[in-house]
């Protein structure tokens, strides 16, 4: 990626340094001759050390190795996380085997553990969040990239990027005191009307799958908008001009040219948002109701993988309980790993596509 | 013909109106959220909040002075863990290897970035809580430090890459060893951007709650030294919000406002002061 100049740096770096130390020539201070007798010559060390080149080379090596060690520590840390999860979940893995993933009993008292309710809760809340956040986020991204003047779009995007930084516990706080009562008020008439359908069965507590999904959607929308807009802005102007020159309306241009061109980038943004939603802990814990049931109703309290970790980890009653929680962490780790890898492949695919078109 | 065109124009208007509505609703919800938080928080905030310890349940008043200090200590530990790794690792990625090691390190950083923070908390629990036998500031700070690494690493690398190679060539041509070139020429040229990145990475972990739940835990009193459980703003917000006491809810709003001002303040400062003028233009 780096062109000629860097190769010259590399060349210089590899070559033994045999240059003598150069005198440090400071420019004379403004309009006056140097007052003291410090002449450039005097700045040359009288007795230069015998082998400066060797010393420099050693310092260079030392510096490089230090930097390398810290870079490698990133690898070590990531590896340590995976190993730690794997080793500490061993008691649960040997006790329950693969059935851990599809049994739904969670009973700390009798040390019987299955992760299905949590996996279900995580997937369901994430699905609800994406169903709300992707259309809204993509629509907003289109508006910010295609409709609004560049400066207005920039200013609003700045605001949205700030909102990405709002801590999730703050979202959770607002969720508890605003969204939960709101869902109770809105949900009750819906339940009265459609309660016969399992999806809307009551009772409506306010906390539950739908509340968690909506809150997650609010949290990931700024993220989708920010990335989506960037992706849309990366579509070459010539593509837009071409569509308009063929007589397309601006919507048809967006629909048939801009969006298809940006498709894999948009999928990438969606997957990154998905990864965030899957791992989101605090806000979900605060509004989902924390009940390990597999309920079909949107209004029913549920539980997620991250939420059960937050709730029970510090107070795990037995070693197997702790190991089961760690295994949930391991599953969560595995899922986010896959989702992130897919997002990366999609974005790489888009870059390859662009290179092919260029 | 005209009818067809009119229909297409109508479609355009409808769809664009929908995108405007999406933008308005997204911004509206988010602005409402902020406004509500400021309104609730400002009403609950008082001087006591910053100077007093939490009072026992049922006794009104009190503050979160211990949580403020606790958060500061946690961030200090986090910075001590995350910044050296991110900064020096970033130097390595930008200035040295372009090969397999750099690829592996970048990949590992991406993986680390994607790991849910609560899972990082499990690791810190296993490495620093289990061997010692109790929760501590150090363990919590360590977990936050791990979370900082990917952002610190990638921004350091990116901003060093923006430093033009002519600067490196000039320094080397003057006879400076490569490491002197990096320390005296390249890093100062990219410093503003790097500081932005480090500040943003700190701001990111300042609001993290999940990894602290079972590393730093919580504490209703001062936490002396580094080996005791400590209170922190995010965990306090969580604990107070889900508790059934009216007075605690008010404190939670106040704490959330303080946390938000700190985090968003750091973001605004970083973006406005440094973000616009990166090393490329320096």
> How much is the pTM?
0.85
Same domain, A113 and A52: no
pLDDT digit string, tens, across residues A142-179: 999 999 998 998 888 888 888 888 999 999 999 999 99
Same domain, A154 and A57: no
Smallest Cβ–Cβ distance between A56 and the set B117, B177, B183 belongs to B177
Q: Kindly state whether residue B282 falls inside one of the protein's structural domains.
A: no
Average pLDDT over chain A reads 83
pLDDT digit string, tens, across residues A37-75: 444 444 445 454 556 677 778 888 999 999 999 999 999
**B57 and B245 in contact (C-beta within 8 Å)?**
yes
pLDDT digit string, tens, across residues A225-266: 998 998 999 999 999 999 999 999 999 999 999 999 998 889
Distance from CA of A196 to the nearest CA of B (A): 31
- Spatial separation of the C-alpha atoms in residues A134 and A268, rounded to whole Å: 12
Asked if B217 and A249 come within 8 Å (Cβ–Cβ), the reply is no
pLDDT higher than 60, residue A10: no
Domain count for chain A, please give it.
2
Same domain, B217 and B248: yes
Same domain, B26 and B70: no
Asked if B172 and A79 come within 8 Å (Cβ–Cβ), the reply is no
The better pLDDT of the pair A115, A48 is held by A115
Chain CA centroid to CA B88, Å: 19
Asked if A67 and B95 come within 8 Å (Cβ–Cβ), the reply is yes
Smallest Cβ–Cβ distance between B115 and the set A5, A81, A165 belongs to A81
Of A22-36, A165-179, A320-334, the one with minimum mean pLDDT is: A22-36
Q: Enumerate residue ranges in chain B where pLDDT < 70.
A: 1-2, 97, 274-282
Same domain, A64 and A103: no
Same domain, A47 and A139: no
pLDDT at B275: 54
Asked if A81 and B92 come within 8 Å (Cβ–Cβ), the reply is no
Same domain, A116 and A82: no
Asked if A66 and B93 come within 8 Å (Cβ–Cβ), the reply is no
- Residues constituting chain B: 282
Same domain, A124 and A196: yes
Residues of A in contact with B241 (CB under 8 A): 169, 172-173, 176-177, 286
Residues of B in contact with A328 (CB under 8 A): none
Residues of B in contact with A254 (CB under 8 A): 15
Domain count for chain B, please give it.
2
Chain CA centroid to CA A219, Å: 12
Smallest Cβ–Cβ distance between A167 and the set B213, B214, B263 belongs to B263
Distance from CA of A96 to the nearest CA of B (A): 20
Same domain, B268 and B200: yes
Please tell me which residue of chain B has the smallest CA distance to A144: B23
Asked if A8 and B165 come within 8 Å (Cβ–Cβ), the reply is yes
Please tell me which residue of chain B has the smallest CA distance to A328: B119
Cβ density class B127-154: b for 16+ within 10 Å, e for less: bbbeeeeebbbbbbbbbbbbbbbbbbbb
Same domain, B11 and B144: no
pLDDT class for A141, splitting at 50, 70, 90? very high
Same domain, B103 and B211: yes
Examine the fold and report which residue of A27, A61, A88 is the final residue of a domain before the chain moves on: A88
Q: What are phi and psi of A302, to 5 degrees?
A: -145, -165
Q: Kindly state whether residue B281 falls inside one of the protein's structural domains.
A: no
Residues of B in contact with A176 (CB under 8 A): 241-242
Asked if A281 and B118 come within 8 Å (Cβ–Cβ), the reply is yes
Smallest Cβ–Cβ distance between A314 and the set B85, B213, B260 belongs to B213
Closest by Cα among A116, A121, A111, A120 to A322: A111
Asked if B234 and A280 come within 8 Å (Cβ–Cβ), the reply is no
Q: Kindly state whether residue B280 falls inside one of the protein's structural domains.
A: no
How buried is B173 (Cβ within 10 angstroms: 0-12 exposed, 13-18 middle, 19+ buried)? exposed
Please tell me which residue of chain B has the smallest CA distance to A344: B110
SS3 state at B99:
coil
Rounded to 10 degrees, the C-alpha dihedral A213/A218/A222/A223 comes to: -20
Chain CA centroid to CA A146, Å: 26
Chain CA centroid to CA A132, Å: 19
pLDDT at B254: 93
Examine the fold and report which residue of A65, A88, A111 is the final residue of a domain before the chain moves on: A88
Q: B23: domain range?
A: 2-44
How buried is A253 (Cβ within 10 angstroms: 0-12 exposed, 13-18 middle, 19+ buried)? buried
The predicted complex's ipTM stands at: 0.90
- Spatial separation of the C-alpha atoms in residues B198 and B206, rounded to whole Å: 12
Asked if A282 and B165 come within 8 Å (Cβ–Cβ), the reply is no
Find where tokens 């701001």 sit: B203
Same domain, A154 and A60: no
Asked if B122 and A173 come within 8 Å (Cβ–Cβ), the reply is no
Residues of B in contact with A63 (CB under 8 A): 178-179, 182-183
Distance from CA of B52 to the nearest CA of A (A): 22
Q: Domain holding B186: CATH number?
A: 1.10.3720.10
pLDDT at B98: 72
Same domain, B35 and B66: no
Same domain, A178 and A294: yes
Asked if B111 and A78 come within 8 Å (Cβ–Cβ), the reply is yes
pLDDT at A160: 85
Q: A276: domain range?
A: 99-357
């Amino acid at each position: 990626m780096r062109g000629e100049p860097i190769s010259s740096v590399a060349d210089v770096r590899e070559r033994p340094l045999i240059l003598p130390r150069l005198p440090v020539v400071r420019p004379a201070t403004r309009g006056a001759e140097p007052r003291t007798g410090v002449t450039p010559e005097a700045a040359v060390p009288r007795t230069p050390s015998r082998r400066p080149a060797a010393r420099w080379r050693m310092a260079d090596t030392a510096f490089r190795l230090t930097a390398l060690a810290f870079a490698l520590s990133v690898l070590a840390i990531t590896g340590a996380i995976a190993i730690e999860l794997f080793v500490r979940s061993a008691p649960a893995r040997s006790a329950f085997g693969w059935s851990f993933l599809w049994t739904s009993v969670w009973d700390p008292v009798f040390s019987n553990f299955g992760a299905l309710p949590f996996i279900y809760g995580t997937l369901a809340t994430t699905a609800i969040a994406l169903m709300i956040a992707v259309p809204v986020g993509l629509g907003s991204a289109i508006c910010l990239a295609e409709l609004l003047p560049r400066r207005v779009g920039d200013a609003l995007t700045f605001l949205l990027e700030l909102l990405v930084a709002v801590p999730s516990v703050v979202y959770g706080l607002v969720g508890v005191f605003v969204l939960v009562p709101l869902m109770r008020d809105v949900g009750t008439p819906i339940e009265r009307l459609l309660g016969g359908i399992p999806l809307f069965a009551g009772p409506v507590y306010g906390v539950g799958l739908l509340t968690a999904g909506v809150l997650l959607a609010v949290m990931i929308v700024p993220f989708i908008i920010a990335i989506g807009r960037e992706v849309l802005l990366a579509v070459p102007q010539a593509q837009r001009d071409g569509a308009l020159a063929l007589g397309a309306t601006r919507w048809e241009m967006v629909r048939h040219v801009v969006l298809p061109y940006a498709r894999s980038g948009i999928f990438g943004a969606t997957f990154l948002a998905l990864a965030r939603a899957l791992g989101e802990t605090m806000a979900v814990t605060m509004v989902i109701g924390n009940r390990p049931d597999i309920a079909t109703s949107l209004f029913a309290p549920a539980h997620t993988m991250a939420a059960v970790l937050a709730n029970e980890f510090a107070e795990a009653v037995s070693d197997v309980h702790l190991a089961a929680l760690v295994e949930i962490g391991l599953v969560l780790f595995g899922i986010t790993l896959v989702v992130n890898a897919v997002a990366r492949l999609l974005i790489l695919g888009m870059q390859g596509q662009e290179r092919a078109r260029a | 013909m005209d009818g067809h065109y009119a229909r297409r124009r109508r479609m355009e208007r409808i769809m664009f109106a929908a995108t405007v509505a999406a933008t308005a609703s997204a911004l509206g919800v988010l602005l409402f959220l902020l406004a509500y938080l400021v309104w609730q928080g400002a009403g609950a905030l008082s001087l006591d909040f910053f100077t007093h310890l939490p009072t026992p349940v049922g006794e009104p008043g009190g503050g979160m002075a211990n949580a403020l200090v606790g958060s500061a200590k946690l961030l200090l530990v986090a910075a001590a863990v995350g910044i050296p790794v991110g900064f020096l690792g970033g130097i390595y990625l930008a200035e040295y290897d372009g090969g397999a090691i750099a690829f592996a390190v970048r990949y590992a950083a991406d993986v680390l970035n994607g790991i849910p923070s609560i899972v990082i908390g499990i690791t810190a629990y296993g490495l620093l809580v289990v061997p010692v036998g109790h929760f501590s500031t150090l363990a919590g700070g360590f977990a936050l430090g791990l979370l900082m690494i990917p952002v610190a690493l990638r921004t350091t690398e990116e901003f060093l890459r923006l430093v033009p190679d002519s600067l490196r060539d000039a320094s080397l041509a003057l006879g400076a060893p490569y490491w002197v070139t990096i320390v005296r020429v390249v890093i100062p040229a990219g410093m503003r951007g790097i500081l932005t990145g480090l500040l943003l990475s700190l701001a990111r972990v300042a609001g993290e709650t999940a990894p602290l739940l079972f590393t730093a835990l919580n504490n209703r009193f001062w936490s002396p030294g580094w080996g005791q459980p400590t209170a922190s703003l995010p965990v306090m917000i969580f604990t107070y919000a889900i508790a059934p006491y009216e007075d605690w809810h008010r404190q939670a709003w106040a704490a959330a406002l303080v946390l938000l001002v700190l985090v968003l303040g750091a973001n605004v400062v970083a973006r406005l002061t440094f973000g616009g003028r990166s090393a490329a233009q320096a």
